[in-house]
Structure 1
Amino acid sequence: MTGRSASEALPPSLRVWLGPTAVLAALVVVVLGVLYADDSKPGMVDARIWAAVYGVGPPWQHVALALDFLGEPVGAATLVVAAMTGCLLLRSARAAVLIVAGIGMTVGTATLLKSLVGRTIHDGNLSYPSGHTAFATALALVVALLATGRLGLGRTAGTLFVLTAALIAGTAMGWAQVALGAHYPTDVLGGWCTALAVIPATAWLVDRMAERLVGRLADAGRREGR
């Protein structure tokens, strides 16, 4: 892995698979959004999973509450600052930018979709997609992308590593949301897919913008040297 590839927000080896994955994830988000637009009840699959997960007692309830806190403003801000600090220590400016832009875009997209879809839970709280799950998945994706570039993982290993990280983070946070009764299982799936759709696209944009900036600086340097 060259130094240039390692510094990219979206390692070239992953573009072949993460691109189509992002498109598929976006389609899932749209389809679920259409199916549950303006709904306020769980679907058939929601009801079955809800019956098995909702209302867990100690000690699992404490685990769910702890995970839920990590998706709240204070917990989320702490994780973002810690991740950015790690990126800066590793001198990965693009990854640091991706943390801010990618997570911001993911959470912003989830918030916008909630208003557009209008699905509610309990006392009219907007629920689709799950913002907590979108945030946790997005953060895991960014960290996994950075690790993939640093470790020089190939296409297959890198893709599996990134998707596994997203699956673990999304499943953990999603379980907590369903166990606490904050979201329907399909809300969680929508949040997970939102991050899978947004992060690769944002990472690609970060790389393109960084390359243009470097190109302009190089051109300016050449003109000054004449």
Structure 2
Amino acid sequence: MTGRPAPATLPPSLRVWLGLIAALAALAVTVLGVLYAGHSRPGRVDGWIQPAVENVRPPWRNVALATDFWGEPAGAAMLIVAAVAGCLLLRRPRAAVLVVTGVCAAVGTTTLLKSLVGRTIHGDNLSYPSGHTAFATALALMGALLATGRLGLGRTAGTLLVIASALVAGAAMGLAQVALGAHYPTDVLGGWCTALAVIPATAWLIDRTADRLAGRSADAGRRERP
């Protein structure tokens, strides 16, 4: 007797649309990286947005600092532990694996890109793309994928939930980063697109690997039967 297969981290109904979105996001990250490689000043788009957001005063500065905390190591670790625990309580082991690997992939990609692009802010601080924004967006995306699978949402509703979640989380963390002067607005956009590119690909790889391992285990079990 074999158990039921574990639910996919990337719902089949969303694979085509999220694959297209991931490809477009990867293209956007690349284009922005080329445009701002080696720069140490805001671009034209940054000049439109940054003055209206940067250097906010209390109480909004306090809100920005509180939001920023959840992207710092201590706050991020707390969120990751809570997310993994929630996935395990819901009996979604693949989702728990996605939380860990997805965060590592998103933040690791932004770290690598910062060194490759070499854009700086306030001296030698590498800024493109925003790792804080990528982290927040990645967590929101993974939560939305889990909710889509649990609720059995269709392609349209599931895609809308995923995009809306990514927009809310990315905007909240991104505004905080710009308000605190830690990133340019285009850095934030790059971080947001990085998560959109990385998370669907990571979820697909997890599902593919898990399905292959499950298939091999089932084949081995059948061969062992008398």
TM-score normalised by the chain length of structure 2: 0.97
How many angstroms does 1:5 deviate by?
Answer: 8.9
Q: Name the counterpart of 1:133.
A: 133
Give 3-state SS (helix, strand or coil) of 2:37's partner. coil
Map 1:170-181; keep pairs closer than 5 Å.
170-181=170-181
Q: Name the counterpart of 1:210.
A: 210
How many angstroms does 1:223 deviate by?
Answer: 1.4
Say if 2:6 and 2:94, in contact at 8 Å, map to a contact too.
no
Matched, 1:107 2:89: no
Q: Name the counterpart of 1:185.
A: 185
Distance 2:5 2:205 in 1: 15
Say if 2:107 and 2:134, in contact at 8 Å, map to a contact too.
yes
Map 1:73-92; keep pairs closer than 5 Å.
73-92=73-92
- Cα 1:139–1:5 change in 2 (3 A) is farther
Distance 2:52 2:163 in 1: 26
- 1:50-106 Cα offsets, whole Å, 9 max, x none, are 100001111110110011000000000000000000000000011001001111101
How many angstroms does 1:219 deviate by?
Answer: 1.0
How many angstroms does 1:44 deviate by?
Answer: 1.0
- 1:18-60 Cα offsets, whole Å, 9 max, x none, are 0000000000000000000000000011012110000111111
How many angstroms does 1:6 deviate by?
Answer: 8.0
**For the aligned residues, what is the CA RMSD?**
1.3
Give 3-state SS (helix, strand or coil) of 1:41's partner. coil
- 1:112-165 Cα offsets, whole Å, 9 max, x none, are 000000000002100000000000000000010000000010000000000000
Q: Name the counterpart of 1:162.
A: 162
- Cα 1:32–1:5 change in 2 (3 A) is farther
The percentage of counterpart residues that share the same residue type is 75
Say if 1:99 and 1:139, in contact at 8 Å, map to a contact too.
yes
Say if 1:13 and 1:154, in contact at 8 Å, map to a contact too.
yes
Q: Name the counterpart of 2:116.
A: 116
Say if 1:6 and 1:150, in contact at 8 Å, map to a contact too.
no
Q: Name the counterpart of 1:37.
A: 37
Matched, 1:98 2:95: no
Residue type at the aligned position of 2:158:
G
Equivalences, count: 224
Q: After TM superposition, which residue ranges in structure 1, 4 or more long, deviate above 3 angstroms?
A: 3-6
Q: Name the counterpart of 1:13.
A: 13
Distance 1:197 1:168 in 2: 17
Say if 2:132 and 2:173, in contact at 8 Å, map to a contact too.
yes
Q: Name the counterpart of 1:58.
A: 58
Residue type at the aligned position of 1:79:
L
